[in-house]
Each structure stands twice: as structure tokens, then as C-alpha cells.
Amino acid sequence: MKKTFTTVRMHSNGTLRKRLPDGVEKVVPVAPITPLNEAAIDAAAGSDPDNPPLTPEREAKLHPIPRVKTLRRALGLTQEEFAARYHIPLGTLRDWEQGRTQPDQPARAFLAVIARAPEEIATLLSK
């Protein structure tokens, strides 16, 4: 089975251009998007089966992602690497990330400093 690919690029003036096999670019006609009012936006959002409205029952089932996990991932570190680099007990880090416990105020301050200057803090702690 032969697959066919179509390349479409947006030109600097906002028009879409389709590149034909012979290298010629052809303008792709695009119908303008009609702006929606608030009622139409709400109706469209409510009819989306993949994103039902947030009800109190659904909200109760949501679990926030701990910020420490987001910070660790942004630094590209495993739990073990993050714990070793910043001298945080691995079990404590896991408890924070899994939501079993929350960092206390000094730990939150330390995490905020790590977020602002991760390399400098790692260097200071390695001395």
C-alpha cells in the first residue's frame, strides 16, 4: 500500500499553502472561523464526551500533582538523583510526590530555592 503525504505550511501572511509533488505551492482555501458567543462555547464544551463538566463529585476524585514532582521532572532527575543531589531522604521525597504527606514550611522554602537556582544549590550542597 502506498502512502501519500501532503505538506501544508503557513505563509507569513497567514495563508495556508500546499506543496505539490512538483514543488509548486498552491494556496489552500480556508473558511473563516465564526466567533462564538459564551452560550455557544458553553454548549460546545458541555457536548464534548472526552471532557465532561467538572462536578463536585468529579472534583473530589481529582488529586493534584505535587509541585515537588513537577520540579523534579523539570530538572530531568529521577527520585533517587533528586534526593541525593539535594540531601532529601528518598522516602520523604516519595511520600511528598505520592501525596501521603506534604512538605512542611522549611521544606517548602528549600524547594522554592531549588526551583530558582537548582545548580547553585546542588553545588553548595556538594561542598
Give the model confidence (pLDDT) of 50-84 as tens digits.
Answer: 888 888 998 888 877 678 999 999 999 999 999 99
**Domains of the chain, each with CATH number or no CATH:** 67-126 (1.10.260.40)
Question: Residue 17 — left, alpha, or beta (φ > 0 → left; ψ -120 to 50 → alpha)?
Answer: beta
With H, G, I as helix, E, B as strand and everything else as coil, classify residue 53: coil
Give the pLDDT confidence score for residue 71 in this predicted structure: 95
* Residue that has been written with the C-alpha cell 501532503 in this structure: 6
Question: Residue 55 — left, alpha, or beta (φ > 0 → left; ψ -120 to 50 → alpha)?
Answer: beta
Give the model confidence (pLDDT) of 8-67 as tens digits.
Answer: 888 888 788 888 888 888 888 877 778 889 999 888 888 888 888 888 998 888 877 678
Measured CA to CA, the distance from residue 109 to residue 104 in angstroms comes to: 9
